[in-house]
Amino acid sequence: MAVGVFDSGLGGLTVLSALEARLPEVPFVYFGDNAHAPYGVRDADDIYDLTCAAVARIWEEGCDLVILACNTASAAALRRMQETWVPRDKRVLGVFVPLIEALTERQWGDNTSPREVAVKHVALFATPATVRSRAFQRELAFRAIGVDVEAQACGGVVDAIEDGDMILAEALVRSHVDALKRKMPEPDAAVLGCTHYPLVEDVFRAALGPQIKVFSQPSLVADSLADYLARRPDMLGQGTARKFLTTGDPRRVSDRATQFLRRPIRFEAA
């Protein structure tokens, strides 16, 4: 039954919470590569190697399907993993496509040619590696035409959240929103393209203002996974145990996770 959920650190917990609420019967195995976070400042080869090592470890827990609840890994490593590394009987899915399908108001799996969509000016907030990869613009171009994307690499935000320094994280979010608005004064939509950012979503919303529609991934990813599993129940693995694994210090990571999710979470060493 088990499904794996991977992130470089704590951000994927925002996705995990939505998955657990949407699919309460599924035991999820969460893996945080906290010892190597943040991924956003690493190069693509490094992100690929770290993500493959983590996914291989999650497979050992009886998961055949792993969700990369990490935009940076989805942007920098997923395509290469799918093309060259994932065995036939396993699947690794990312978090970009559900987001872009919501933004372009497409049904899950609608592969018709790109067309004009309601949003015209999109602000993308993501890690430096995600912005550099241009994966968001590439996936968007498969589905929509005439959309102007302005990307803001939000340096420092993931580090501050991983360190539990929310005052710094909030100050950085405000300054990144200001920087984006200088480049694109009136976006009609904003995408939180990093799974750590829902932890400071209210700060993004306040800084952006009420007229900008904010797209945040957790519920979008949960809906698309529910849809996927309804079509592919065979991808539920044999594992039965819910687990939280980390490459970091389990005590420290458990404390932060408990603080973020407001319920007791106990990580064990991966």
What residues are labeled active site? 70, 194
CB 58 within 8 A of CB 243: no
With respect to ligand DGL, which residue has the nearer C-beta, 22 or 132?
132
The nearest distance, CB 195 to ligand DGL, in angstroms, is: 4
62: phi then psi, degrees, rounded to nearest 5: 80, 30
With respect to ligand DGL, which residue has the nearer C-beta, 140 or 236?
140
The nearest distance, CB 219 to ligand DGL, in angstroms, is: 15
Q: In 3D, which of 206, 212, 270, 213 has the Cα closest to residue 244? A: 270
The nearest distance, CB 9 to ligand DGL, in angstroms, is: 6
CB 211 within 8 A of CB 189: no
Q: For 94, left (φ over 0), alpha (ψ -120 to 50), or beta?
A: beta
Give the residues lining the site for ligand DGL (CB under 6 A).
Answer: 7-9, 11, 37-40, 70-72, 127, 130, 158, 194-196
With respect to ligand DGL, which residue has the nearer C-beta, 3 or 153?
153
The nearest distance, CB 186 to ligand DGL, in angstroms, is: 26
Give the integer Cα–Cα distance in Å for 109 and 127. 27
With respect to ligand DGL, which residue has the nearer C-beta, 133 or 254?
133
264: preceding bond cis by omega (within 30 degrees) = no
